A and B are shown apart, each in its own frame.
Chain A
Amino acid sequence: MSTKVYAGTEVPVNDEGFFVEPGQWSEDMAPEIAREAGVGDLTDRHWQVIRFMRAEFAEKGTGPTVRALGKTSGVSVKELYQLFPKGPAKLAARIAGIPKPRGCI
């Protein structure tokens, strides 16, 4: 466990950089996390995924799988991998300040 400073606020994160307390996340932190995660500048399409992740997490307590994202977020699986080449579910979850999804699919 360590801490990071995003948008001027210190927050605890786990070894892989995921928020320990999703409630501490705010939208102005996302661009800094994205840069750190190697995603670069966030476009509207990135934001559509990030907001969808937050909404899903708020409703279900867990982030969606790539399959679910592709079907319901309005961003196709192909585009998800273009936006987040190193793994959409994992990277979008990290940028959205929610726990890493643990599913096998």
Chain B
Amino acid sequence: MSDKIEKVSIIVSKGSLEGIYPALIMANGARAEGIEANLFFTFFGLDAVHKARHEHIKLATVGNPGLHLATWAGGLPGVSTVMTRYLSHKMEELDIPPIPEFVEMIADTGAGLYACQASVDLFGLSKEDFIDQVQDIITVGEFYELAAGGQIIFT
């Protein structure tokens, strides 16, 4: 087996800003290195490819000790919005694209985007709810087939 990673399949299971970006950065970075990449969106991670929701992904300000903010303060109305806007502004300065643009760009790099069948059923969604870049809604078995021979990363 060669030491070089040739293929990664990245599972996106969270719908928060800090839950989605790492997966997108890893997928994009993989393609930039010539590594084959697939993204599999499951549970709340589906919001990243949901037409109506992907522009409104927010930072979790409750239950997020890394913010060093009192839990009650994080729950105040508007705090999540303000913190999200602040972080998005910082990201733009660093040339990190907003989530909708980033997802589109990753699809353009040739990475595969897939939605999880079980989650789609659970939330009562269909293919029309997702951006066009989502190639298919697939089962977990099909995901493993796609991921065969590569590394799997769960986020």
How near does chain B come to A61, taking the closest CB pair, in angstroms?
A: 15
Q: Give the secondary structure class of A's interface.
A: helix
- Tell me, yes or no, whether B70 is within 8 Å of chain A by CB: no
B→A interface (CB under 8 Å):
25, 28-29, 31-34, 94-97, 105, 108-110
Q: Closest residue of chain B to A79, judged by CB?
A: B108
A65 and B95 contact, CB distance less than 8 A:
yes
How near does chain A come to B110, taking the closest CB pair, in angstroms?
A: 5
What mask results when residues 42 to 76 of chain A are scored 1 for a CB within 8 Å of chain B, else 0? 00000000000000000000000111101000001
A87 and B31 contact, CB distance less than 8 A:
yes
A77 and B108 contact, CB distance less than 8 A:
yes
By a CB distance below 8 angstroms, the chain B residues around A76 are: 108
Q: How large is the interface on A (under 10, 10 to 19, 20 to 34, 35 or more residues)?
A: 10 to 19
A104 and B29 contact, CB distance less than 8 A:
yes
- Tell me, yes or no, whether A105 is within 8 Å of chain B by CB: yes
B25 and A105 contact, CB distance less than 8 A:
yes
- Tell me, yes or no, whether A103 is within 8 Å of chain B by CB: yes
Q: Closest residue of chain A to B26, judged by CB?
A: A104
- Known contacts A67-B95, A68-B95, A104-B25: A77-B32 contact under CB 8 Å: no
B105 and A70 contact, CB distance less than 8 A:
yes
B109 and A103 contact, CB distance less than 8 A:
no
- Known contacts A77-B105, A77-B108, A78-B108: A87-B95 contact under CB 8 Å: no
- Distance of A8 Cα from B14 Cα, bound (Å): 54
A87 and B96 contact, CB distance less than 8 A:
no
Q: Closest residue of chain B to A77, judged by CB?
A: B108
B32 and A90 contact, CB distance less than 8 A:
yes
